[in-house]
């Protein structure tokens, strides 16, 4: 009970702060005109959901592949995956979006901007996912590997039955966090005119001459997606802590 009261207090404080800020601004709310475009919000939100889900799927494929490439004995492959991870994590997503859209996609003759957008998000997130998986794999203790060796497992069996299940488990919280990031980061795809949630909100913004009447629903729409994922990540983390 007291938890809910405390939570309510926190929300109240936050609301007061927002209210004070907007009052000082003498902001004229005009929800009516913005709400007339609720279908546009809904369409954008669903587009973001699809783009995120597909990107996430391919990001996992890329991330896993790169993690495997990191373990390959052939050095050029290893360097290639290392360069990919460092470049992707070290440069702004915005630059990558422009580069892939105007240079790579154009050269490859890909017309569909949604395909390009999903590819960009998958490549971007794949680098982070591969790092998360790598950390998970390296976190599997030496004693586990010794045990697998003593049992007579092959390298493949060791990976399949000993390393992978433990690495995935310990990576789960970070992977959930990365999923939330991917959803938020996909908002940048609005710069290449992909009609997802953020772009649609911006359009409503422009049509109705409102600003926060479209930005607040935008933030809320992302929260609906990211909050459950972050809660999930937290609860997995807690459960893992009790298990070990």
Partner 1 sequence: MKLELESVVKTYGTQRALDSLDLTIEDTMCIALIGPSGGGKSTTLRLLAGLESPTSGTIRIDGNEIAHEYWQLREYRQRVGVVFQAFNLFPHFDAITNIALPLEKVHGYSRGKSLEKAGMLLDQFQLTNHRFKKPAELSGGQSQRVAIARAIAPDPDIVFLDEPTSALDPEMTAEVLEAIETLIESKKKLLIATHQMGFAKHAADTVAIIAEGKLVEVGNSSQVIDYPRTARAQKFLKAYLKF
To the nearest whole angstrom, how small is the minimum distance from the Cβ of residue 217 to partner 1? 43
Give start and end residues of each alpha helix (H) in the chain: 2-25, 31-35, 38-69, 75-90, 93-98, 105-108, 113-138, 142-151, 155-157, 164-185, 197-208, 212-243
CA 102 distance to own-chain centroid: 23
Give the nearer residue to partner 1 in terms of CB position, either 47 or 148.
Answer: 148
To the nearest whole angstrom, how small is the minimum distance from the Cβ of residue 242 to partner 1? 8
Find the binding residues for partner 1 in span 16-55 (CB under 8 A).
none
The Cα 235–Cα 207 span in angstroms is 42
Contact with partner 1 (CB under 8 A) among 2, 111, 112, 244: 244
Find the binding residues for partner 1 in span 155-174 (CB under 8 A).
157, 161-162, 165-166, 169
Contact with partner 1 (CB under 8 A) among 14, 16, 46, 146: 146
Phi, psi of 133 (to 5 degrees): -65, -40
The string of DSSP codes covering 44-96 is HHHHHHHHHHHHHHHHHHHHHHHHHHTT-SSHHHHHHHHHHHHHHHHS-HHHH
To the nearest whole angstrom, how small is the minimum distance from the Cβ of residue 186 to partner 1? 33
The Cα 198–Cα 215 span in angstroms is 9
Give the nearer residue to partner 1 in terms of CB position, either 234 or 239.
Answer: 239
Contact with partner 1 (CB under 8 A) among 6, 21, 91, 144: 144
The Cα 163–Cα 140 span in angstroms is 6
To the nearest whole angstrom, how small is the minimum distance from the Cβ of residue 57 to partner 1? 25
Find the binding residues for partner 1 in span 122-141 (CB under 8 A).
none
Give the nearer residue to partner 1 in terms of CB position, either 33 or 166.
Answer: 166
Task: List residues binding partner 1 (CB under 8 A).
Answer: 143-144, 146-147, 149-154, 157, 161-162, 165-166, 169, 243-244
């Amino acid at each position: 009970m007291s938890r809910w009261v405390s939570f309510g207090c926190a929300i109240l404080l936050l609301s007061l702060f927002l209210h004070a800020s907007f009052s000082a601004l003498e902001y004229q709310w005009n929800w009516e005109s913005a709400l007339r475009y609720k279908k546009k919000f809904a369409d954008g939100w669903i587009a973001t959901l699809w783009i995120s889900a597909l990107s996430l799927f391919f990001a996992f494929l890329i991330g896993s592949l790169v993690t495997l490439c990191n373990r390959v004995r052939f050095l050029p492959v290893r360097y290639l995956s290392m360069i990919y991870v460092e470049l992707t994590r070290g440069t702004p997503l915005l630059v990558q979006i422009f580069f892939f859209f105007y240079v790579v996609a154009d050269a490859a003759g890909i017309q569909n901007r949604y395909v390009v957008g999903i590819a960009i998000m998958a490549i971007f997130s794949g680098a982070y996912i591969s790092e998360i998986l790598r950390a998970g794999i390296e976190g599997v203790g030496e004693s586990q590997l010794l045990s697998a060796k003593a049992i007579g497992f092959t390298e493949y069996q060791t990976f399949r039955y000993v390393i992978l299940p433990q690495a995935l488990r310990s990576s789960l919280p970070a992977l959930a966090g990365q999923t939330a990031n991917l959803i938020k980061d996909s908002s940048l795809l609005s710069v290449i005119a992909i009609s997802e949630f953020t772009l649609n909100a911006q359009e409503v913004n422009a049509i109705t001459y409102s600003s926060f009447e479209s930005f607040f629903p935008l933030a809320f729409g992302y929260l609906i997606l990211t909050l459950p994922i972050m809660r999930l990540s937290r609860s997995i983390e807690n459960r893992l802590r009790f298990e070990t």
